[in-house]
């Protein structure tokens, strides 16, 4: 065995012995429970070294190791996907797409190649193709929440909010679905619809802090734009604009309001599908918000909770129905 290959094998085995058992990352999962068996499986050993090199930024070595593993077995989906990722990083998009598609052909019953191809299409703003690929992955692994969340992103950014909503609900929950859709709508410039979505999320889950933050952000942006619109014109000055904060990528909020990043892209949207209200009760029987000096439609979560506590159960239900429909006048 050449000295370089012996050195690689020794390095990987040393790393495995020292810290491998303490890690849960995908790199260590490529090893069996028997290091000697890995030595007898050069394809597996080269894959492990390629992943380690990729993770540490040594892309030239990673490519060489993936190619070596592929020479051992032309049907190795992990090696094909690894080379596709490296092509994408290098800006060789056509070659990356070819490899992602090849991985799907090699392992049609594995969700991973379809997810990787779908994620690639998301980075290219090719949302219909992304949705189709992610849907194929879900047909193989219907319980994969990560795949379902990415499918929601592809559908929403492609303009199909109605189809995206149930995917988000199944992947992350009801309130979190409104939050994710709100981020996408805000990104696309649909601030009024985004505000409704953030409000829906806060009403359903007052502890969802990111939704309250973005609800406040959108409302402050609207207030600033209104002030600029009503301000007297200044001579010899250029028009002022309100700087919009950058919306984060849609994420999967977990318990306690934490979030994990997910997907990319932008696209047209026909507007959100606001949850319908039940009943047609007027707000006449609800205590007048003017008496408190606050408008429930612009309250933050704490203020809204305090106001609701002052109402009877029937009045509280009517107020929530008015807020959810977006028809509350605040009078």
Structure confidence at residue 245 (pLDDT): 73
> Does residue 180 register a pLDDT over 90?
yes
For 122-226+248-275, CATH number out of 3.90.25, 1.10.10, 1.25.40, 3.55.40 equals 1.25.40
Higher-pLDDT residue of 33 and 28 is 33
pLDDT by residue (tens digit) across 187-224? Answer: 999 999 999 999 999 999 999 999 999 999 999 988 88
Task: Output the pLDDT for position 90.
Answer: 93
Domains 1-107 and 122-226+248-275 alike in fold: yes
For 151-155, 171-175, 256-260, which range has the lowest pLDDT when averaged over its residues?
Answer: 256-260
SS3 per-residue string spanning the chain: CCHHHHHHHHHHHHHHHHHHHHCCCCCHHHCCCCHHHHHCCHHHHHHHHHHHHHHCCCHHHHHHHHHHHHHHCCCCHHHHHHHHHHHHHCCCHHHHHHHHHHHHHHCCCCHHHHHHHHHHHHHCCCHHHHHHHHHHHHHHCCCCHHHHHHHHHHHHHCCCHHHHHHHHHHHHCHHHHHHHHHHHHHHCCCHHHHHHHHHHHHHHCCCCHHHHHHHHHHHHHHHHHHHHHHCCCCCCCCCCCCCCCCCCCCECCCCCCCCCECCCCCCCCCCCCCCCCCCCCCHHHCCCHHHCCCCHHHCCHHHHHHHHHCCCHHHHHHHHHHHHHCCCCCC
What pLDDT digit, counting tens, does each position of 140-162 carry?
A: 999 999 999 999 999 999 999 99
Listed range (123-132, 188-197, 221-230) with the worst mean pLDDT: 221-230
In this predicted structure, the answer to whether residue 89 has a pLDDT above a threshold of 90 is yes
Extents of the domains making up the chain: 1-107, 122-226+248-275, 276-331
CATH domain 1-107 topology: 1.25.40
């Amino acid at each position: 065995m050449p000295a370089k290959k012996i050195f690689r094998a020794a390095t990987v085995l040393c790393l495995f012995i020292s810290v491998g058992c303490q890690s849960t990352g995908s790199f260590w999962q490529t090893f069996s429970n028997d290091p000697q068996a890995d030595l007898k499986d050069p394809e597996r050993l080269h894959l492990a070294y390629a992943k380690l090199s990729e993770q540490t930024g040594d892309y030239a070595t990673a490519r060489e190791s993936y190619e070596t593993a592929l020479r051992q077995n032309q049907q190795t989906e992990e090696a094909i996907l690894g080379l596709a990722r490296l092509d994408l990083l290098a800006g060789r998009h056509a070659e990356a797409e070819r490899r992602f598609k090849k991985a799907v052909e090699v392992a049609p019953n594995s969700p991973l190649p379809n997810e990787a191809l779908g994620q690639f299409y998301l980075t290219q703003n090719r949302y219909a193709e992304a949705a189709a690929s992610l849907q194929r992955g879900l047909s193989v692994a219907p319980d994969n929440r990560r795949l379902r969340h990415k499918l929601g992103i592809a559908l929403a950014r492609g303009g199909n909010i109605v189809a995206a909503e149930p995917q988000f609900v199944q992947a992350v929950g009801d309130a979190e679905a409104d939050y994710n859709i709100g981020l996408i709508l805000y990104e696309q410039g649909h601030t009024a619809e985004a505000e409704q979505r953030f409000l829906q999320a806060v009403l359903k889950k007052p502890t969802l802090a990111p939704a309250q933050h973005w609800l406040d952000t959108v409302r402050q942006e609207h207030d600033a734009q209104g002030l600029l619109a009503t301000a007297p014109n200044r001579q010899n000055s250029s028009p002022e604009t309100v700087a919009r904060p950058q919306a984060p990528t849609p994420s999967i909020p977990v318990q306690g309001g934490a979030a994990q990043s997910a997907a990319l892209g932008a696209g047209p949207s026909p507007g959100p599908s606001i949850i319908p209200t039940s009943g047609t009760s007027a707000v006449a029987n609800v205590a007048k918000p003017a008496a408190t000096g606050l408008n429930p439609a612009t309250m933050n979560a704490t203020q809204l909770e305090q106001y609701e506590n002052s109402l009877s159960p029937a009045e509280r239900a009517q107020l929530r129905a008015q807020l959810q429909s977006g028809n509350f006048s605040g009078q």
